Each structure stands twice: as C-alpha cells, then as structure tokens.
Structure 1
C-alpha cells in the first residue's frame, strides 16, 4: 500500500497524484472538457482541455462528428470513451455537464470535483 509523503510539499504532491488518477481512472488517458464560459477559459485553463461552455454541451454532444470537428477543432468523444472529465471553476457546472453527458449515453463521463480552482492551487 502506498504511503502519503510527509511534509507540506509531499502532501501537495500526493494530492495531485490522487487527483490525476481520479481524473484519468486506473488506466487510460483522460479527455478534459472545460465547461466554463469562453471568457473564463481564455483567462486560463488546464492544458489540453477543450472548452465547450455548459450552455452548448448538449447540442455539441449530439452533433455529427464532422460538424463537431469543424466547430471545435477536435474529435468528438465517443459514447464508449472511458475517461471524459468535465470541469468548471468550482464544481457545479462540471457536475451538471457530467450528468448531461451521462444522460446522453456517455457512461465514462466524470466530474473533476476540485475543478479549475483546485488545479490552479496545485500548479501555483
């Protein structure tokens, strides 16, 4: 069993490792979706995240793959994708996005409960 490192720096490292593992699951790579507004995402986001505001998410996830690609310059997630991680600033919109995605059949949808705020604190 893994032991958490001691000290403040060790604790931060441990929390980050747990958060990344939670976001990606035990295996595989997570696809990150920033569901905040375009303005919020433009001010800073988790590297590699695709910004789709929660207000657009339902229509985006129902688009044809070619239309999704054209609008977001990214491959549309597949229903069977395992690690689709939604996040916002503090957690509420991310949870809403996860629930919406699951209702559309994306069973691998997850919410990064710590949200961008937690990620930013760990990066800083």
Structure 2
C-alpha cells in the first residue's frame, strides 16, 4: 500500500473524530481569505507556508502564537485540510518530516465539508 494512502482521512472518519471531540487537532492550511468565508468548527488556522515553522516551534512559542497547546509528536489525531486536498497533503508531508508520524490529510477538504454540512 502506498504511504500516502494511509495518511488520508475521509469525511466520515473526520466526522467521527469531531463527534468524539477529545484529542482531535484539526489544522486549516488555507489562506485567511478562504477561512473568512467558512471553516470547520474547532479547526485552527495555520497557512500552509507557515506549517513547517509552526510545528518546529517549541511548545511555549506555539501556544503563545496559536492559543492552543502544540500537539505531541505521537498525536494520533492530527489532521490537516485545505480547500480540496493539495495544500493539506503538502502540510501533512511537512508534519511527517518533522516527526508527526500519524499526521493525516482530509483529502477532499473544506469543499466537501461545506457541501455535506451546508
């Protein structure tokens, strides 16, 4: 099986994680303009070009900048998303390179979410 296949998450799986609501760390990597038009509840906004820097920060700097605790490297519920999947995939790869072994990409992104959630 291709490595990227294991790094993808579907709408259904994301919905389950959101409903469970415990440890999900959902990162929206779209532009501020895109986020202003709508977002997945509970997501935090870190533009794709800032992901590498953000996830390389020390935990205190991260919390100061983003207002939430930095997820641990072994976080099992770290999910990135963009509008349609490409930038989310880039962000997921960067996180994996930094040691976030379980990082995943919501491949159909906000486009699918907004269609299903209204």
TM-score normalised to the size of structure 2?
Answer: 0.82
Matched residues in 1 for 2:69 and 2:13: separation?
Answer: 27
Matched residues in 2 for 1:16 and 1:112: separation?
Answer: 7
Among 99, 103, 112, the residue aligned to 1:105: 99
Among 87, 103, 121, the residue aligned to 2:115: 121
1:20 aligns with 2:20: no
1:41 CA displacement = 1.0
Structure index of larger Rg:
1
Give 2:49's aligned residue.
55
1:33 aligns with 2:40: no
The number of equivalent residue pairs is 106
Give 2:68's aligned residue.
74
Matched residues in 2 for 1:80 and 1:18: separation?
Answer: 19
TM-score normalised to the size of structure 1?
Answer: 0.78
Matched residues in 2 for 1:82 and 1:88: separation?
Answer: 19
Q: Which runs of 4+ in 1 moved over 4 A?
A: none
The Cα RMSD (Å) is 1.8
If asked which structure has higher relative contact order (CA below 8 Å, sep 6+), I would say 2
Matched residues in 2 for 1:103 and 1:62: separation?
Answer: 10
* Uncovered stretches (5+) of structure 2, i.e. residues with no partner: 1-9
